[in-house]
Amino acid sequence: MNILYINGPVQNGPFTIAEQPGKAAGIRAAEALNTLLGTGPAPHLWNTVTLAGDLRHRHACDIVARQEREDRAIAAKYTPGTTPAGGILTDSTPVVAALALEMTERLLLQGALTITPTTVHLCSRCGHMTGTVAHTCRACGHQASRPRTRRLLVWDRPPGTPVLARDDFHAHRARPPRHLLTIAQNIPQRLILSRTRDHGISLAPLGLDGLVLDPRAGLHIAVLAAATQSDAVQPVMTITENAAANVAAYGTLFRQHNGTRLRYALHGRIPYDDTTALQRLCDVHHVSPALRELFLAWFLPLCSLHLRAGITPAQLPSLLKFWRRAHLARPDTPRSEAPAELRHRITAGDMRWVMDVRTLSQAIPDSPTSHGSTTEPEGAS
């Protein structure tokens, strides 16, 4: 047993974590759980192989390389002067690319993946591959495309092979949502795993010039690479249900490597953009700014792993009351580490404890450890 929670790579869009804390929910939840387990710190994972990134950087007129732009954009997401204790890993860094090529080559040798001439549609203006069905180009908006047969990395799924099963989720007594399993059953029999992108894991070493590995596969490999760096054989990737529905099929062959196996932990949305009522409530009940911050940056992310369908704004007042009660019930003697029972439950993927006042009260830290939060880093209170 060697569990490490790692966030599902967050799209490196134009925002800061302070502006959009919801984007860091998976990072914060992972950090809180690793701290309670006494493992980590895990790196923060970012997804840079995006079409949006291609478009944002395509017309850049300075000569700064794309990877450097991505790195700068990630650094700007954090409170100035802070960096994550476990570092940062993107889905296009050399260590991830090396693992991706190693895994892909092995899967090609095994015959699970093939490089197969496939008819796809290419945008007739910019050459972007729009897929097996003709539709408007997502890269440039051009409507016309032309069919062309080119060699691509494909996975022809043997009939009856599931792309997602119950044991792909790290969840104790919580069934994965049925519709997620249904979506996973209804994917095409052939999945194309190579894409036309400006940036990503180049498949040129496999003879596929101008193509990169589909980022939906790459996200899983980034988590495996992060786990390997930390000697963790059971990485648990925090991810929302929507994101899982989008990427899980592409990760089917990329969730296991050399005894390391990735599982998902689903988390719901946190209504950070709707906390006006919460602020009023904090004022009424004299909740200190530090306690409010701990509620937002530590408790709610953990809560979102239990309330996987999402936390509604209407739930915030009662959650805050519950939080205050748990905080008041903290033991007099601070514990240096979480009780064994709590670690046992986290290891088993059982998140019901966040709704148990006694257990929660023993788990509350003095301050959130997250460098991705809006608070000051460790040491401040």
Q: Which is nearer to Zn ion, 123 or 236 (CB)?
A: 123
Q: Which is nearer to Zn ion, 74 or 122 (CB)?
A: 122
Site membership for Zn ion, residue 142 (CB under 5 A): yes
List the interface residues with Zn ion, window 3-62 (CB under 5 A).
none
Q: Which is nearer to Zn ion, 131 or 317 (CB)?
A: 131
Query: Binding segment for Zn ion among 92-100, 128-136, 188-196, 340-348 (CB under 5 A)?
Result: 128-136
Report how many residues bind Zn ion under the rule CB under 5 A. 8
Cβ(170)–Cβ(33) below 8 Å: no
Tell the residue number behind the tokens 């119950």, with chain if given: 166
Site membership for Zn ion, residue 144 (CB under 5 A): no
Cβ(254)–Cβ(221) below 8 Å: yes
Query: Binding segment for Zn ion among 41-49, 91-99, 139-147, 261-269 (CB under 5 A)?
Result: 139-147
Cβ(26)–Cβ(7) below 8 Å: yes
Query: Binding segment for Zn ion among 53-61, 122-130, 284-292, 349-357 (CB under 5 A)?
Result: 122-130
Q: Which of 96, 86, 56 is nearest to 72 (CA)?
A: 56
Q: Which is nearer to Zn ion, 14 or 141 (CB)?
A: 141
Site membership for Zn ion, residue 199 (CB under 5 A): no
Q: Which is nearer to Zn ion, 128 or 199 (CB)?
A: 128
Cβ(121)–Cβ(146) below 8 Å: yes
CA distance 311 to 139: 34
Q: Is the dihedral of CA 30, 33, 35, 41 positive or negative?
A: negative
Q: Is the dihedral of CA 20, 21, 25, 27 positive or negative?
A: positive
Binding test (CB under 5 A) with Zn ion, winner from 123, 244, 338, 364: 123
Query: Binding segment for Zn ion among 44-52, 114-122, 129-137, 159-167 (CB under 5 A)?
Result: 129-137
List the interface residues with Zn ion, window 252-281 (CB under 5 A).
none
Site membership for Zn ion, residue 139 (CB under 5 A): yes
Mapped onto helix, strand or coil, the DSSP state of residue 110 is helix
CA distance 89 to 46: 6
Euclidean distance between the first and final Cα of the chain, in Å?
34
List the interface residues with Zn ion, window 328-367 (CB under 5 A).
none
Q: Which is nearer to Zn ion, 10 or 139 (CB)?
A: 139
Q: Which is nearer to Zn ion, 3 or 139 (CB)?
A: 139
Give the distance from CA 3 to its chain's centroid. 16
Site membership for Zn ion, residue 137 (CB under 5 A): yes
Q: Which is nearer to Zn ion, 142 or 324 (CB)?
A: 142
Binding test (CB under 5 A) with Zn ion, winner from 18, 52, 126, 144: 126
Site membership for Zn ion, residue 129 (CB under 5 A): no
Cβ(226)–Cβ(6) below 8 Å: yes
Query: Binding segment for Zn ion among 79-87, 133-141, 158-166, 356-364 (CB under 5 A)?
Result: 133-141
Q: Based on the number of CB atoms within 10 Å of its own CB, is 204 exposed (0-12), middle (13-18) or buried (19 or more)?
A: exposed
Site membership for Zn ion, residue 319 (CB under 5 A): no
Cβ(95)–Cβ(229) below 8 Å: yes
CB atoms within 10 A of CB 331: 11
Residues that bind Zn ion in the complex, under the rule CB under 5 A:
123, 125-126, 128, 137, 139-140, 142
